Structure formats: structure tokens, C-alpha cells
Amino acid sequence: MTKWVYGFGDGKAEGEQGMKNLLGGKGANLAEMSNLGLPVPPGFTVTTEVCTYYYANDRSYPPELRAQVEAALAEIGRITGKAFGDARNPLLVSVRSGARASMPGMMDTVLNLGLNDTTVAAVAAASNNERFAWDSYRRFITMFSDVVLGVDHGHFEEILDTYKERKGYVLDTDLQAADWKTLVGQYKALVLEELGKPFPEDPQEQLWGAIGAVFASWMNARAITYRSLHAIPAEWGTAVNVQAMVFGNRGDTSATGVAFTRNPSTGEHALYGEFLINAQGEDVVAGIRTPQPISKAAAQAGASNKPSMEEAMPSAFAEFVGITKVLEKHYRDMQDIEFTVEDNKLWMLQTRSGKRTAKASLRIAVEMAKEGLISEEEAVGRIDPGALDQLLHPTIDPKAERIEIARGLPASPGAASGEIVFTSDEAEAGKAAGKTVILVRQETSPEDIKGMLAASGILTRLGGMTSHAAVVARGWGKPCVSGAGSIRVDTAAGTLLAGGKTYKKGDVITIDGSTGQVLAGKIAMVQPELSGEFAELMTWADGVRRMKVRTNAETPADARQARQFGAEGIGLCRTEHMFFDEGRIVSMREMILADDEKGRRAALAKLLPMQREDFRQLFEIMSGLPVTIRLLDPPLHEFLPHSEDEVAEVAAAMGASAAKLRARAQELHEFNPMLGFRGCRLAIAFPEIAEMQARAIFEAAVEAAASTGQPVTPEIMVPLVATRTELDLVKARIDAMAQAVEKEKGVKLVYQVGTMIELPRAAIRAGEIAESAEFFSFGTNDLTQTTIGISRDDAASFLGTYVQKGIFAIDPFVSIDQEGVGALVEIGVERGRKQRANLKLGICGEHGGDPASIAFCERSGLDYVSCSPFRVPIARLAAAQAALEAKK
């Protein structure tokens, strides 16, 4: 018989941490904490396989499941001395989701399950605390109605707010037992009115309703969106964890909290967290009340006027600190921990590897390696290469004037300026219109996820450092200021009151997620510097990395930036970008309009010194590192005007005939220019273009070698080659120019001529082409287009649907299609190196900065990847991780 349910508690468990795929992350870690002998409320996990069965069998359960659940409930009852549904000594449980990958706030939870009009009295009597019992009951009705019955929680909040206003209450803790009794009656009346049937009293009906709701939440909109953003497969499913309730809302000797064993924003080795006295877990993470700091040091640093847990509950705090050290040492990683204190007794509800900023990831990994907790290679493997983007965003210029209008908690580092928006829809619309926006909310919820993604920064009035907004923003590297209690947000009116002034939608503010400041207007930013832990970890990464990392650059600014980020040369210099400068486009157009070769050469002679200076600067900046220069690639019509007004304006500026300009543009017009008169086809039809560029390259190499004292070995790349004959024809003109420059300058040039493999035929005939080519650079942007038959400029209308329907696992222009395009790369590598053993191989498409594609390049035996300057650190780390993976 299949085992669908795994129990834990009382110092033992049927599962362990290695069973995450079956038990989910939460279930596996609850089992592990139980096995470690930590204080964990007893419970059981319904496996992810039940979720798979549920969706494969028309949302039904395996026949054996009910009996296994009843047996597990009985075991919880044995441990706790209570019975589920018992009128005199009832067992109450929580029902929570738990996928194998952490998805904070994305799926549904129900607490205090098992309460009804009978058991609430028993709980009140047993606890001698009637207020606590009825507070728990109203919470259960709210959560169960929202999660299971589909009655929006906002309706209950409206009833509560109206009641508090009428009674003159400010906080939920002001309400007494009689108040909660009245509200429970109103809540149940609302359910009856909304659904036409009463709130369920049967605990078994409640339990199975909640289990079904958790499985159903795996396919809710916010969970689907989160999975797509984080590449979590739908087939993984979620587990369900049913656990005996422990109560943080039982009075002033009870509390609930969330803590990290190290600071998730900075990585500092200090306990970081928040708690609330007389509260339940959702009060902390949902931002309903602004929490109190865990430690005395944190309270002093934050100038909090509320006691810390260390001061309010010293015994429970001391035990908690000891447990955090045990968990971090056991898991060998920073832990995110949820806990409850019930009548001064500490209970551990969850532990998991904590989400953290890239800055914190680096510091934690480096410091743990120095502490001997992990190895240097493990430290390199701990950092998500894509997360390094967080370190590459602007921060506020320290010299800039700051007009502070509010201050909150520094929930996620970095800074952003943008127009105020108040809803997720407004944020998405603003981004679609090309605007930078700041999402301003009372507090965020999982329903806001799309708007949070669209926004450049997030500001909330409520919530703490572990609120939904803070956790999600840190995970995405977005600046966030939470708990800015002095502001007033009126979403309906579209206004933000801050610093005595009213701001409306579209007004610009700046937030500093590192200080918690909210500032008026747009503030000057500065680019980050990568040093400290980053430099140390990258040194470790470079020590294990096999592939080189180059950059795609054609301007001195890009080349210098890339060198600062550790680029080891230029893998792609797109020469056509150099011709669009206002001072050069006229000469380029003169060349295109020329009636014969003589006219073209005359125009090209004007461009020669400009090109030579371009290349000289790049060679000098790279100072002996390899530089790959691609000859002119795009079709000539891209350099010509198209509208009548543009034609007239350009003709007048050039002193040329508008009719001739119009006729030439029409003559060069193509129906499918991506496959048209471009690349090597231009150099074959007009060899004088390639000659000018080759001469400029060689003359610049001579000058740069003299000025830097470093040898310069240019790599000249011929684009869009399909046959060896094409390459040979262009290579002959390049070699002729080399000989001419050698004779004129009295020097011996060292250079290489190679090609871009961007057509399927070139990959298939790579052996033949390698007879002439000294290097290959796989241009996977065009190779993807020509292999799959998709134009990347027109694919946006359907690629999203293709990914959603599982045709592609990911956009093939973002991460290389390993089965199709990748197979052609592998063919090109194998056949090219068979012909020329020392053939240099690289990749220069956008895939050169994608970690998954870099891992593929490592497996394929490429020598280097090339990417945009700001992706260089990502590529360096990804290449190191790929090399480590190859060793396994």
C-alpha cells in the first residue's frame, strides 16, 4: 500500500530533510527538527504525490488517504492528550502548504481548525482565557471562509474596522471576549448571507475542506505567476502539513515571530527578526501590526520604544538563540525560522534556508567559508549568478540633496525613483508605457505580485522587515521601504500624504531601501562598486573557472566598464554601431549612394580614420587582451532614411537629390532583411568595405601596440558565412590589407580570421569552414532565429503562450534551446575541432550572459563566452559553477 502520510513529533519523525521532493520543504524540515529533538508541535505531512494524484484524477484523493489521515490525527492526539473534534478537550490544528521550493505567501494557510460553537467553550475553559478562545475562533472563521469557502477576507476586515470605530478601539488587542463573541456572530451571518448556508461546524468537514483548498491553491493565479517567475515546474505539486496548534495569542506570556540566523539584507552574522506579543503568525508576516525587534541590540539600533523579545521573554529568547545556532550548524546555511511562544513555552514551527539579497548572499557565503562551515568551492556554488544583478543597480549619490518626507524600515536595499502608482494594474500599465514607477500600498499581499514585479521600488505604510513586501522585494533585488507609519495612503482617491504634503498618482518620489528614507522628487544616483566579499568570492570563482569571459562592446565606455567587472577581452565588437554617430552617418550614406566603386572608396576613405580611432581605443583599453571585431553585418538600407520628411531632410543636409536617395532606399528594400543582403554578402559584393575595415583594424593595432607596449592580436570575424568559399573570398581581402599595412609600417602583424556560426548550414559544414577559419564564435541570436524559424523582433506575440503551454520551457532567446540550437552548436564544435584541433570557440549572443546557457557552453567545450558588460560578473560566476558541476 502506498504511504501517503508521514508523521512527526515527540522527538522522532517518519521523514527527514532529504525527502523534500516527497514531503515539500516545510514537511521535510519539520521532520528533521523533530529528529533533532527540537520542540516541534506534532503533526503529519500529506505528500506531494497526493497533489499529483489529485490533479490527475479529477481533484479526488487516493482511496487509502482518509484512513491514513485519521491514524495520523490519532497519533497527534496521543502525544498532546487531546482528540480532534472532542467537545471537552479538543485538538486544534493548522493546515499549511509546503512545496519543495519555497514560495512565501503564494499558497493558502488555515489556523485554529477544529473550532466551532462547542469547542470554543472547551478551549476557553481549558485555557481559563475566554478572550483568547474567541479571538482564535474569529481568526479561524476569517481564514477558512477566505481560503476554503471563497468569501473575501476584506468583508470581514470591513466588519471589524466598523466595529472598532464604533467602539473607539485602535488595536485588535483592545477587543475583549464579549467583542469577539459579537463579531463571530456577525462573521457567521456574513457567511450565511454570502453562501446561503451556515459556516461548517463539523471538524472533519473543516479539515478536508482545508486540505482540498491547499491543493487547489497550487493552481491559483498568484502561485502560477510565482512559479513562472522562478522556473518552478507545476508537476512538482505541493504537500500539506497538518500540525497541532500552539497559540501565540494566549496573552502577554505568549508571542509569535519570524527570525533569520543572519541578516538577510546585509549578511551580518547577527540574529535578525521580529515578534509580536499576544498574536498569531499571520499578524507578523502580513504586516497587520508593526512588530517588535527580537534582540535588545536590534531594538537599540532601530530606536524602538517597544521591548525586544530578549527583554520581554528572556528565558524563551535564550532557548531560541541556542536552537538557531543548532539549526545553522546542522543545515550549514542561514536559516529563516518561524516560532511561537505559548505560555512561555517555545515551539519551532518552521526552518528553511532563508531568502537573502545578493549582497547578503556574498557575505554569508564568504564568512561561512572562513568559519569552516562550508568550503570555498561550496561558497562559489551558493550564489545565484542571476542575483548578482542586484549589486549592479544604482544607489543614491551621497552628495545629492535629500528632502525626506517620511521614513520607514530599510526592508530591501538599493534605491529607485519613479512615478507614484497605487495599484498593481497601474504599475503594470506604467511599465508597459515605458515609465519607471514606485508602487505605494497600505501593505502588499500576494495578489500584488505582478505589480511588484513591474515596479522599480515598493513603499508600504504597514509591515515589518519580514512582511510580504520585504521578503518578495529582497528576493527580486528591488528597493523596498516598509512600515512607513507616518504616511497615509488613500488608494481610492489616489493620494499619498507624506511630510505634510499630498502626492498624487504620477508625482515622482525616491525611496532608499538601504536607509528606509522616502524622498521628494528624483534624486541623483551613482553606479555601484564591486569589492569586499564580491572580490573575494570572484577570486575563488576565477580559480576554478575554465572558460574565459569576454564582453560585447564597441564603445570605450562599455569596454572600460566591462574591464572593471573582470572581462578578459572583447568577444564581439559590432562595427555597424559605430556608423550611426551623427558625424559619420553622412559619409556612410555617401558610400551607399555612390554610383561606382570609386565613389564608394572615396566615402570609405572619410570613414577610415574614424574607424581606426575606434579600434585603437578598444585595443588600448583591453591592453593585450583579445578583441574580436565583426565586419559590417546589417543590410545597407538600415542606414538610410525612410519617411518622406526624413528623405527630404537628409537630402538637403547631404546636398544630394531626394529622388536619388528615395530610389536607392527602394532599391535596397528587402522583404526579409534578416536573410537578405547583409553579412559576408556585403563584403563579397563590395570588397572595398571589408578592406577599409581591415585596414583600420591593422593600423589601430600597430598604434595601440606602440602606446601600450602590449602585443595586439586582432581577431577579425566574418559574419553570416554559410560556405567556406564565402569566407575564403573575404579572408583574401583581409590578408591583402594586412600585407599592405605590414609593408607601409614596417611591422609584422599577428592576427586571426574567423567566422560567426549563425546559420544551420555553417554548423553542419563546420569541418569544411574550419579549414580556413582560425576561430568560431557562435552567434546564437541569429542561429536561434534561423534554426527555429522565429523572428525575435516579432515573436513576443506568441512566445509567452508557447512557454505557458510547455512548447518551450523558457524563451529560446533568453536561454539557449539546448535540444535544437544546442545540437547544432555541438555539431559545429565536434566537426570544427576534428578539422582544426586548436580551433578557438566562443559564443557571443545574448545567451553568453545566461547561467543555464553558460553551463551548456561548458559541457560543449567552448573556450569562452561573451556578454554585455553588466552581465560579466554573472558569467564569471556561472562559468565557475559550470566547471564545478563538470567535476562531479
- Written as nine digits, the cell of 202 is 463539523
Phi, psi for residue 495 in degrees, rounded to 5: -135, 150
Element (DSSP H or E) covering residue 522:
none
- Written as nine digits, the cell of 561 is 566598464
Residue 225: count of CB within 10 angstroms of its CB:
16
Q: Catalytic pick from 51, 393, 468, 680?
A: 468
Intra-chain end-to-end CA distance of the chain, in Å = 36
Region for residue 506 given its phi and psi (left: phi exceeds 0; alpha: psi -120 to 50; beta: otherwise):
left
Please give the distance of CA 654 from its chain centroid, rounded to a whole number: 49
Q: Which of 642, 869, 839 is nearest to 757 (CA)?
A: 839
Distance CA 358, CA 378 (A): 16
DSSP, residue by residue, 251-304: STT-EEEEEESS-TTT--SS-EEEEEET--HHHHHTTSS--EESSHHHHHHTT-
User: For residues 118, 121, 125 and 129, what is the CA-based torsion angle, rounded to 10 degrees?
Assistant: 150
Alpha helices in 81-176 (DSSP H): 119-127, 130-144, 153-167
Distance CA 174, CA 151 (A): 26
Amino acid at 336: D
* Spatial contact of 230 and 112, defined as CB atoms under 8 Å apart: no
Q: Give the residues across from 755 on adjacent strands.
A: 718, 776
DSSP 674: G
Burial of 52 (0-12, 13-18, 19+ CB in 10 A): middle
* Spatial contact of 634 and 719, defined as CB atoms under 8 Å apart: no
* Strand, coil or helix: 143: helix
* Strand, coil or helix: 879: helix
Phi, psi for residue 261 in degrees, rounded to 5: -75, -15
Q: Catalytic pick from 51, 480, 680, 844?
A: 844
* Spatial contact of 470 and 411, defined as CB atoms under 8 Å apart: yes
Q: Which of 463, 259, 471, 239 is nearest to 346 (CA)?
A: 259
Phi, psi for residue 304 in degrees, rounded to 5: -75, 140
How many angstroms separate the Cα of 450 from the Cα of each of 109, 386, 410, 816? 21, 20, 22, 26
* Spatial contact of 240 and 214, defined as CB atoms under 8 Å apart: yes
Contacts for 717 with CB less than 8 Å, ≥ 6 apart: 572, 628, 629, 630, 631, 753, 754, 755, 756, 775, 777
Phi, psi for residue 286 in degrees, rounded to 5: -85, -10
Amino acid at 583: G
Residue 326: count of CB within 10 angstroms of its CB:
14
Render the burial of 412-425: b for 16+ CB within 10 Å, e for the rest.
Answer: bbbbbbbbbbbbbe
Region for residue 769 given its phi and psi (left: phi exceeds 0; alpha: psi -120 to 50; beta: otherwise):
alpha
* Spatial contact of 321 and 333, defined as CB atoms under 8 Å apart: no
Please give the distance of CA 106 from its chain centroid, rounded to a whole number: 16
DSSP, residue by residue, 350-377: EEEEPP--HHHHHHHHHHHHHHTSS-HH
Element (DSSP H or E) covering residue 179:
helix 177-195
Please give the distance of CA 854 from its chain centroid, rounded to a whole number: 18
Active site residue 480: no
Burial of 838 (0-12, 13-18, 19+ CB in 10 A): exposed
Active site residue 468: yes
Known catalytic residues are: 468, 844
